[in-house]
Structures are given as structure tokens and as C-alpha cells.
Amino acid sequence: MTELIRRLLRTPQGAVGAAILVLLLVICLFGALIAPEDPEKMNVLARFRAPDLNNWLGSDQFGRDTLSRLLVGARGTVPLALAATLLGTLSGAVIGTASAYLGGRADEAIMRSIDAVMAIPGLLLTLLVSSTLGKGSLNAMLAIAVAFAPGMARVTRSVALTVRRQDYVNAAIARGEGSAWIVLREMLPNVAAPVVIETTIRVAFAVMLFATLSFLGLGAQPPASEWGLMVSEARRFLHQAPWMIVAPGVAIALTAIGFNLLGDGLRDALNPRDER
Amino acid sequence: MSALLSVNGYSLDYRTHRGTLRVLDNVTLEIAPGEVLGLVGESGSGKSTLAYAIMRDLPRNAREISGEISFAGEDLRRLDAPSLARLRGRRVGMVFQDPSASLNPTLTLGSQLAETISRHRGLARDAAWREGVEALARVELNAPDAIMRRYPHEVSGGEKQRVVIATAFACKPELVIFDEPTTALDVITGARILDLFRKLRAETGVAGLYISHDLALVSRIADRVAVIKSGKIVETEPADTIFAEPRAAYTRTLVDAVPRPQRRLVADRPGERKLIDLVGVSVRYGRPRLLGRQDTFGARNVSLDVKTGEILGIVGESGSGKSTLARAMTGLARFDGEIRFGGQRIAGPAEMDKSYRAAVQIVFQHPDASLNPRHRIGDILARPLALYGGAQSEIPRLLEQVRLPAYYAQRYPHQLSGGEKQRVAIARAFAARPALVICDEVTAALDVSVQASVIELLLALRRTHGTAYAFITHDLNLVRQIAHRIAVMRRSVLVDLRDADSIDAADADPYTRELIAACPVPVGEDERP
């Protein structure tokens, strides 16, 4: 594990990505303590204040401090988006690998079902799931996971099909290993590279999907300072107070970049063959 | 200077993240017009790097240290890109190892060949196409017209390599570089490609640089042979004498490692009891289609047996079904017929129980593919112990048994050399305490000297454990050294099964005799009478 981290930090992308994510982690853990003001404290006199020394990132339509809202909102945004992505990609990866391993009719059945699920647009599916399960952040997370799994299953299957033909899988079958062992221990580690990269790209999507759900009233509920919710609220005041939308937008973008860079670094670090 | 190609004091480094690695060290060689120089070395000796240096297609981390490469008086290192483009393909042709990788699968063979011709000789498209048909006829392809219109996957490997050779010769080059052109082909096809090269050479008077690890091949084709070891040319001598009376110690090791059918390595007799008995085993490939089934046979009605402690050689060209047989015996393919093993009658993979799977183990051809790159050697060896019973503490002993140090358990496969990886695969098979080990081309991916040590290891393990081997290979010389009996397969059918010492008898199957004839005579010996 320490070896992996050392290799990760040796790549420039990995180091920058890790730095951004450590910063995010600190904000998620201690955001409420660092925040200069109460994120829900309204101030009628300080509405739409441009960034200055009092409000570093300006204030919103109720005079709430944007920086404080960002710092506190991180906890409601990043961990949930990450959990949704991990849940979705991991289950998708297992389904895809298992499908490639089984082959034949089982593969056909699994992939056609996946096609059927994918025929429903992602947002619609998320809406369907979260309205069935009810409002709330946790259900929104499950909904996003369900929407992510099919795409991930396809990507993983295509890689797993190549792995399936490798002799180490044949060797495992010949010595009578169980299917679970072959899928999880022999094949899955070897399809990790595309899964990791997909996962890191999808974290950014997950943040945006959360925002959409919150905007439609199915995810986080006001006055929560979830970043996506902040973007959708600020949309109305785009011309009046652009900082309101820029601040959470940049935060979401930085999160996405951080995860993507980490993904690039991980891809190199996870590959034991890569000795450059 | 009269030399067509001369490499003078050429040194090259690869920069890796662990430091620089000297790949070519003060290499000096010359090829006269019309001469064929063989370049022999083991993998990693720098022979392919030299070919790429001559073609000026080096990887980005290569650093040329010193020396010069001149072709017909021009220093190739000073040429700019456009003059190189005029040189490559036109005056210097190249034939690569794997014809399926060097042809574009999305273009017809004809358009690839015609493009080379029209680019280098400035012909119009249909004139180039006609030239292409003629070029294919010159490499002895039947129906060149039809071949021109086909895609690479529609012709066989040998035909593909002929098309590549036709492309290389189409612009009447002065020099052709061959990088292991027959390694990816089976024996008989490879022998025919060699005959073709000899014929083309006589017709065109082309000079050649023939790179190979196979001493016998090189001595048949080259005028002079250079032996290369870790980037240094060890010696350069005429082909007639270099292997018969090697001067350098390294050349002698290479020659000694070549398998010779006359030098038997196994003296004992196998047991009398049948260990495993295949009765009418057929393997069908193909899936049910909309209208009926369309089956191709991987193996058709094969009956053979292996006795306790016996080494059974199974030979045949690629696609003859010998690996399919291994797949059936290890439960990787469904089969018809039955396998009898210790009183059990097995009709399919589902009936193979733990005791059968432990007793019948397989070692695959490519150790790179058969060892999971994400597992440590220790984890790889632990699996059979966990499945078939055995303590994890046996791992050091297993490694020691295949002459690897115990601390290798902590390593990943990619940190080991090819021979070491194959030893790990053998250790994994023996961890199950098998009665039969199926060796599927276990030495084909290895260098000659490593091959000899792996064979020696297998024989030593057999002496200790009394294991029987089903030794699948295309190398007839090798199998005649070790096998008690040899089974010959062709087009999924068992055509011959006889004692190893009577394999060249007059009553052998015609195909068996054809195989023996195609098999190169080991170097350092007189031609067979």
C-alpha cells in the first residue's frame, strides 16, 4: 500500500491530484470549523455583495457568505458523489466481468438486459429511482449508482473479454477454481485500469447529477449548501451576481480535475509492469 | 568501400527510469552486395534493436552514443526524413516476425501491396495493381488475383508472410532485413518460406540481414553469421564453419543447447499401467446458429493413452489440434467420447472432480499469459495448495524444487525473466502432486539455452516424482530426445502414434516423414544422408 502511494506521488498528475483531494478531504472534515460565518445566517443588508474582505467569495440573494456555504457544503457533496460513483462503477465492473467470464447465453442475457436499462436516458432513470425511493440525499446516491452501473458493465466487459482468453484464467478453470474467485480475484484486478479511469471521470458527472436532482427537488433540500444546489439557485442571478455561480462551479471543476488527475496517476501506479 | 551496408563501432543506450542500459555496444558488421548475413542471438541481445537502428525507427528513449551506419556510402544517421522515406521500402525492405501484425487488417492485401509499389515507383494505380499480381506470383502464391482482393484474415499465416515478402521485394530493394520471419509460422510453412527466400535471392541477387534465434535456420540461409550477446558481436564467421567449429565460448554454449534427436535424454522405460486413456475424443467448436449447427472439429475421434511415468510427445503444425487435446484433458473444452482415468469414466468437464484435476496439471506456452500479472509468485503457488491440500509453508520448497530462490515468492511475474516465469508455472503444476503434467509448447517462447535448462528441470522433476508428461510441441528434434512415444496430429486427426525410436521408420505415415524432412538439421552436424 505504501509502495502504491509512493509510486502514485512520483507521477506529476498523481501528486497534483492527490494534493487537490487532500485539500478536499480537509474541507470535508473540518469545513464547518474553518468557515468564517454560519452558512445559513441571512443578512438583508449584505445581499449580492461582490467579493471583498468581509465576504471573500461574495454573498448570495439572502446575504449568506458564499465561502462559508462552499466549505460546509463540501461535506454534503463530495462524499456522496464519490460513494454513488464507487457503488455504481464497482457493481457495474463486477457485472461486466462476470458476464464476460460466463460467456454464451448468460453473457447474451446479461448484456441485453443492460442494453434495455441503457435505453432509458440516465437522468430519467435517476428520476425514476429517486422518486420511487423518495426524496433525500441517500436515495439520490442510490439512484445515481443504478444509473452508472450499466455503462460501467459494458466498458468492463469489453476489457474482460480479452482477459478471459488469457491462460491464467484457463489455468484457474483447469485447477477447478470457483467462479467467484475467478471473477473477483483473477479477472477483476486485471480490468482495474479502465474501471479506475472511468470512475474518476464519473465523479464529476455524479456531482452534476446530484445538482440536477437537487434542482428538481429530489436530492438535497434547501437551505442545504450542496454545491449543485448552489449552482442551480445562483442560475437566476447569473447577470446580477456572477460570483454566486462561479464559486461552486469552480469548486465542482476542481473536484473533477482532482479526481481525473488522481485517476491518471493511479492508472500508472496500479500497473505493476510499468517501471519507467 | 565495397560494402553495401556497414555498421561501424555503433553503440546505443536505452534510457529507462532506472538508468541507462547499453543495448548495442561497439557493433561492427558489413554486408557486401548480394551477401546474406545471419545475426544470431537470444532475446534481449539487441538484434532487433540493430534492425530498427538501420531502418532509423528507434524508440524515443534510445540514445545513439557513437559509430556510424552507412548504406551504399551514405551515412544513414545524417539523412533527413524525406530521404529516409525514399530509402525505406524502396532500397531497404523489411520483413517482420508476425505477418498478422505487420499487415493492416482493414485493407485488402492488394491495396497494401499496390500502395507500396505506386509510392516508390511512381506507377498509376492499375499499373501498380498489375505489378502487385506479378509480385505475388513470384512468391509462388496460387491465384494471385484472388489473393489481392482478400483481407489479411482471409488467408493463412504462411500466405500472409508471402505477401509481406512480396511487398519487401516488389521495389527491387538492394537489402532486405528479415526479423525472425518464420518464428510465428509452423515448421513446414517456415521451411517453405525459407525455400522461397533462397529462390528470390538467386533471382534478384539481393543482400540480406537475417535475424533469428534459430541457429539451424541461419546456417541454412546465410553466407556469414554474426553471433551477438548482450549488444556485443561475439564472432563473425562463414556459416559453414561457425557452428561446426565455434571459436567463442558463447557460440559453443548455443550450439550445445540445440536439441539433437540422436542424443537421448531419457533412458528408462515407462510403466505398464495406463494412467489416462482417451477413447474417441472429439472436440467441436462452433455455436448453434439460427439454421442448424455449423461445427468445426478441433479434434476428431482421437484415441490415445499415457502410461504411468511415460513421456508422450504430441507433434503437429499449428492448428492441428494438439492444444485442443490438452484443453479437453484439462476440462477447458467440452468433448464427445470419454476419458478414462483411474477407474473413472469422464464424459465432460463437469465430471472432473478434485482428484482428477489435481492429478492432471497443465503448463502453458506463454508464461507471461499463464501467470496472473497482478498476483505475487507466492499467491500463485498458494492456490493449488489451498485447493488440493497442502500447507502454505511448502512454497519455499516448491520454489527450491524449480531452482528459484525462496524470496521470489514476494515478486511479481514481470520482475522475472521468461525462463524463471516458466519455472514458476512448472512449480505451480507440481504443487498439486500430479501424476500427469501436460506441457503445451512450454519451451516454444524461450531461448535455446533456457529451453535446454527447462527441459533438464522437467526431466529432473520426473526422476523425483515419477510424473508422466504429455509433451505438446512442434519441435520434432526436441521431442525425439525425450519422448517414449510420439503422436502425430494433422488437421484435428491423430495420424500416427509410434515409439520415438521408430519415428523415422519406413512405415511411418507420409505426413510424419514430411514433418521430419521439414525439421532443420541441428547445427554442427552433417546433413542427413
Main-chain dihedrals φ then ψ at residue B446, nearest 5 degrees: -110, 160
- The pLDDT of residue A93 is above 90: yes
> Degrees (nearest 5) of the Cα angle B159, B162, B164?
115
d(CA B280, CA B528): 37
> Does the beta carbon of A240 lie under 8 angstroms from any beta carbon of chain B?
no
| Chain B nearest C-alpha distance from A84 (Å) | 27
Check A189 against B374: CB less than 8 A apart.
Answer: yes
Q: How far apart are CA A12 and CA A14, in angstroms?
A: 5
pLDDT tens-digit map of A131-182: 888 877 788 888 889 989 999 999 999 999 999 988 999 999 998 888 999 9
Residue of A nearest to B413 (CA): A273
Using alpha carbons only, what angle is made at residue B334 by residues B329 and B338, rounded to the nearest 5 degrees? Answer: 60
> By the 8 A CB rule, do B8 and B1 touch?
no
Q: What is the 3-state secondary structure (H, E, C) of B45-101?
A: CCHHHHHHHHCCCCCCCEEEEEEEEEECCEEHHHCCHHHHHHHECCCEEEECCCHHH
A107 touches chain B (CB under 8 A): no
In tens digits, chain B (529 residues) has pLDDT values of: 478 999 999 998 888 777 788 888 899 999 999 899 999 888 778 888 898 888 888 888 888 888 889 988 888 888 888 888 888 888 888 888 888 888 898 999 999 999 888 888 888 888 999 989 998 988 888 888 888 888 888 888 888 888 998 888 888 889 999 988 887 777 778 888 888 888 888 888 899 999 988 887 888 888 999 999 888 898 898 888 888 888 888 888 888 888 888 788 888 888 888 899 999 999 887 665 556 656 678 888 999 999 999 999 999 887 788 888 999 999 888 899 999 998 889 988 888 888 999 999 999 988 888 999 889 999 999 999 999 888 888 899 999 999 999 999 998 888 888 889 999 999 999 999 999 999 998 888 788 788 888 999 999 999 999 999 999 988 888 898 899 999 999 888 899 898 888 888 888 888 888 888 887 777 665 444 3
Residue type, B296: T
Residue contact A190–B361, C-beta within 8 A: no
- Whether residue A171 and residue B364 make contact (CB cut-off 8 A), yes or no, is yes
- Residues 285..304 of B with a Cβ closer than 8 Å to A: which? 287
Q: In this complex, which of B16, B387, B414 lies closest to A175 when CB atoms are compared?
A: B387
Name the nearest CA neighbour of B69 among B79, B60, B61.
B79
Distance CA A267, CA A197 (A): 7
CA A70-A74-A80 angle, to 5 degrees, is: 145
Contact state of B370 with A172 under an 8 Å Cβ cutoff: no
- Residue B357 and residue A175: Cβ atoms within 8 Å? yes
User: CA B25, CA B233: separation in Å to the nearest integer?
Assistant: 8
Q: In what order do the strands lie in the sheet with B5-16?
A: B19-31, B5-16, B62-71, B74-75
Residues 5-24 of chain A whose Cβ lies under 8 A from any Cβ of chain B: none
CA dihedral A240, A242, A243, A245 (to 10 degrees): 120
B370 to A186: CB separation less than 8 angstroms, yes or no: no
- B16 contacts in chain A (CB < 8 Å): 275-276
* pLDDT of B523: 67
Non-local (6+) Cβ contacts of B120 within 8 A are B86, B89, B90, B171
Contact status of A3 with chain B (Cβ, < 8 Å):
no
Sign of CA dihedral B172, B178, B181, B182: positive
How large is the ipTM? 0.76
Residues 39-68 of B with CB under 8 A from A: none
For β-strands B360-363 and B436-440, DSSP reports them as parallel
Handedness of CA A205, A207, A208, A209 (dihedral sign): positive
Q: Give the A window 254-273 contacts with B, CB below 8 Å.
A: 272-273
Q: What is the pLDDT of residues A9-41, one digit of tens each?
A: 888 888 898 899 899 888 888 877 877 777 777
Cβ pair A273:B373 closer than 8 A = yes
Q: Which residues of chain B lie closer than 8 angstroms to A168, CB-CB?
A: 369-372
Where would I find the beta strands (DSSP E) of A7-106? Answer: none
From B350, which residue of chain A is nearest by alpha-carbon distance? A176
